[in-house]
Each structure stands twice: as structure tokens, then as C-alpha cells.
Structure 1
Amino acid sequence: MFDWLQHIADWLVYDVFNLSTEQHLANALNFFIYDTVKILILLFVIIFFMGIVNSYFPVDKVKNYLSRHKLYGLEYLMASLFGVVTPFCSCSSVPLFIGFVRGGIPLGVTFAFLITSPLVNEVAIGLFIGLFGLKTTLIYIVSGILLGTISGVILQHLKLERYLTPWVKDVLAQAQREQHLFEAEQLAFKQRLPIIWAEVKKILKGVIPYVVLGIAVGGLMHGYIPEGFFEKYMSKDNLFAVPVATILSVPMYSNASGILPVVQVLVSKGIPLGTAIAFMMGVVGLSLPEAMLLKKVMSLKLIAVFFGIVTLCIIISGYVFNVIL
């Protein structure tokens, strides 16, 4: 989808700035340019689209529908499955997360999407089959979907909405005011656009500093932290290798397709597959740049609870993988 943007980033870094592909600075700068522009584009498109949707389908109606109709947990599974077909990294999933929250989708359901989206996608699945075979791939897909679904259910039952930031609550209140205006005055689509556009600009203005800072940190990690740095802590003789691998993976930042070759190297060096996959899940599903992006939306306490529950689920998955594979 964004191949054209990667070409532009390559041209700027390697041709205009005349940096070498072997330089850490080049890798960090390339990552920063590509991801910053990509996420800002996604933010604009998703927030604008959700603004249009919300103008015709009010937040209150979405909430009322979900509260009146018992879906028996299917809403969490559906959100996780939607995450599978959206090939985003953890930071790129944040714009959709913001759009879901603004659209009145329950917090646990949005978390189910946010967790699954970076873990499982068609590109990663294709690579996984080639590297580890169909059986391991199927187990990984199921575990990724279950990880998102179960974590979403747990987070929803903790009733964490009160830990959303005042900025989010203001955005939701503004969305409801707009919807009441649209319903009261029966505005035509052209008349709604200026109101929607004004809200898009307001949201972007609030989020952009966090996007730039988060991606800058991700770029530095991407360019300067050696991927083999953590291998010595994940030996098969270490009983705590899975939790250590998961915790140490958080400073890393990559998408699933980018980290899979590293997982293959780890396994070839004798590291158990479950430990290597736990490391991959931590790299892909949890990252400091993602936390910095989410800081605009969540309080530190909510981010800590989110990371803690996902980390626990990843650790359990890693041990289960080591037992069955």
C-alpha cells in the first residue's frame, strides 16, 4: 500500500542526503520519514472517515446497540479477526484505535484489535509458512487471535474508561455535540464536511507531537539497537527465558515480517521456538514508540495495565508453544 512512500524515503535518505545503506543514521532516518508520513496519512484518512460515519451513525446509538444486544464475546473475536486483515505495525494501528474510541466502540473491543493487528497479518503468515511450516503457522495464528480476544475481554471487564485522557473525553464530547447538530438540523453532506474537517484538524493538531516523538524513538531503536544483542539471554537452559525474552523485546520495534527472519536465526541457534515467538510477539505487539503514541489517548496507569496484561498473555503463549512444539 505504501511502496511509493518507501521509494520517496529511500530517495531522500540515499540520494538527496547521500547516506550509505550501511550507516545507522541512514536506517534510523529512513524509518522515521517513512513511518511518520505513513501514520499521519492513516490518521487523516481514518479520522475523516470516522467523522463521516459518526455524523450518520451517532456514538450513542453504537453504544446502545452493543449494550442491548448480547454478542457473547463475538465482538472481541470480530475485532481480532479485523486486526488480522489490517497489515499494520503496532504504531500504525493506533490511528484506527483512536477512530474506534471516537466512534463509541467499547474499549475492550478496540484493545482486541490493537493487540491482534500487528501480530497476525497476511504478509507475516506467508513468511511464517515458508520459515516454520503450516502446523506452526496455524498454531501461531490461533494463538495471536486468542491473545487479542482474551486480552480484550479482560481489559473490558476492568472498566478502564476512566483512565482515558481528558483529550479523548473532549473528543468524544465534541463528537456527540456534532451528532446532535447533524440530527437537529438535518444537514446535507456538503454542509457536514466543514464541521468534520474542523474536528479532523483539531485531533491531528493534538496527536502530531506524539506521533513525531514516538516514531523518532522507534527510528533510533530501529537504526542503532543490534538485533543480536538479546540472544544470550534466551538460551534453552534458562527457565525464565520466555519472560526475559518478552520483557527485553519491548525496546525493540519492528513489524511481524521484519522480525521473522530474526526469529529464524534465533531458532537456528538452538533457542526454543516458543521463546523466540514470545520475543517476536513482544517486539511486534509491545513497543516504547507505541506507548508514546498511546500517551495522548491513555493515562500512564492504563498503558501500564494494557502492557502488563498483554505481556502476561505473551509469556503464557511462549511456554505453551515450548510444550506443544
Structure 2
Amino acid sequence: MTSILVIEDNDIVRKMVARSLNDQFTILEASEGFSGVRLAQEHLPDLIICDIAMPGMDGFGVLEALRSHQATASIPFVFLTAQHERNLMRRGMAMGADDYITKPFTVEELRQAVQARLKKRAIQQEAVSRTIEEVRQNIARSLPHELRTAIMVADGYAHLIESESENMTEEQKSMVGSIRNSMSRLYKLAENFLWYSKTELSKLNPDSVACTNDTELVIRQTAHDKAKKFSRIEDLRLDLHNARLTLTEDYLAKIIDEIVENAFKFSVRGTVVQVCSRVDETRYLISISNDGQGLKPPASEKIDGFMQFERDQYEQQGVGLGLAIAKRLVAAAGGELMIENTPEDRITVAIQLPLAYQG
């Protein structure tokens, strides 16, 4: 429920304001400025109504304190002012107050002022959200293609230089190798931008998506390729069963690719990365587990694009798109992705996908 903080040292006025609004809003009360600032910082109300003339910290002090902190700076702020204080309103508005109500006022005048300010706030927030969404979608549409084109050109020249390696010193060969490795990482990033834009700008329609009939083969090949990339074939353990899914092979492969890569990236050579799958009535269950570092609950609830976990503790490359893509592809197919762990520090990504209709 929308919350309103009333800061007023006059008990009668404060209680009257609270009673007038408590049938529609959650009301917080403060009898002086310092406690009002504390309540605002603790509860972040949707609107603040504050008297001007109060002992200790007056209304101007409250407004200045709240506007100086990011968390409370944008909360709509309405002054309560006596008739003889109206000359102070220019100062209050210049400091960032959004409105003022002159005493004495009726209950209806109070409610109208509150509703008008909350409505304006909602319109402003909607406009900001719409602008952010437009910018994000424009980036999702254009950036991947621009990145991929530039990367392919740079990698092409690096490959051309590498073809003349017989004329290079060992140091020069190492430098060219580093360039090509960097190009490979950037290309993977561009590809993930493309995948992310797909999941952002469209939703999977189960009625129009081709089915995967050989899930076991797709998972086996994808996991094996990833283990080979990390030079850890001997660490990979597979226990797979087949099923028919309403999900294209490339989408399933992408899900497995990102999660298995995470498992190898955050585990030590010589420890097991296990990929299992089985059929359970109407669902296909996939689990990918590894020892050691990795996402831990409740991190699965926070997975989203450009989000990386514990980056200050574990050096990571990339921008956090991979797991977000996997989670969105699973959700788009009507499934669920969860992170589980055991007391032995074994991290498991558990995926549930609905089986394709067999009729």
C-alpha cells in the first residue's frame, strides 16, 4: 500500500491528517524533524507531508536533509503552512518542495492535494521507465551487430598477421595469439548480446517453435565441446536420458552451453562437473553441478542481464549475460531454472522443462 509520512509537532493537526488519510494509505507519524528524517530514510515513503515551524529541525531542515541523500531525494514533499507563513513558500519551492497546503484546510482539500501529487509522481515514473526501456531496446537491436562487424574485421587482420608467423619472434607470436584470444571473447560477447536481444524483444510461442527430439545428443555434444574448451574432458561426467521438448536444438544447446561453461569456470581442474537428465511425468529435469565457487541461493532470483555475482571476490570476464540468457530461454519455454547447493559446497543448477505434446 502507498505510504505517507506526516511530520508535524502539533499532535491535534498530525492526528487529524493521519485520520483523514489512513483509509487509503499507510500512515507514518513523526512529531519533530529529526525523527521524521529517520523514518523517511528507514521506510522510504511515497509522499511526505511536513510542517514548517517546528522546534529543533524545522521543515526546511528536514527538506534539505532528505534532498541531500540519494534514497530520499526524489520523494514528493508537501509543506503544511499557516496563512502567515505563505511568504516562506518561495524559499521552500526553491529548495525542492513539490507543493504546499495552507492551514486551515478541509479533509477534501488535503486528499485532493495528496492524490494530485501522487498522480504526478506516477506519471513521471512511467515516463522515466518508458524512456529507459526505449534506450535499452535500441541498444539491444543495434549494438550486437555493430560489435560483431568490428570484431570480425579486427580478427581477420589478426589472422592475416598470424599467417606470417614464420617471420615473427616468439614474443610477437604471443602478442598475436593474445589478440586473437581477445577477439574470440569479444565475439562471444557480441553473440550473447544477440541472444539477449532475442529474449528481450520477443517471446517463444510453443505452437510455432520446432521441437527437439534428441535432447540427449544435443546435451552430450554441447557439454563435451565446453569441456574440451577448458581442457577438462576427464572431469566431465554425463548421465543422460532422451526426451522430446518444445524447444529448438539451438536454444537447448545455448542453455546447456552457458551453464556448463559457468560450472567449469568456477571449479578447479580435477574436480567433477556432472550433467544429468531424466524424464519425470510431464517434465524434463536437467541438473548441472560442480564443486567450489559458483552461484548460491538466493542468487537465482537475481539473475539478469549485466549482473555478475561476487565479482569483487572472483575475477570474471564478460558482463553477466550468459546465465540471464539461459534463464530467459528456460522461462520462455515454460520451464524454471533454480540454483541449489549442498553442505559439501557442491553447486547445482536445476532446470525443469515441459515435455512436448506427443499427440
Please report the TM-score for the alignment, with normalisation by the length of structure 1: 0.26
Q: Determine which structure has more spread, i.e. the larger CA radius of gyration.
A: 2
User: Is the strand fraction higher in 1 or 2?
Assistant: 2
Please report the TM-score for the alignment, with normalisation by the length of structure 2: 0.24
User: Is the helix fraction higher in 1 or 2?
Assistant: 1
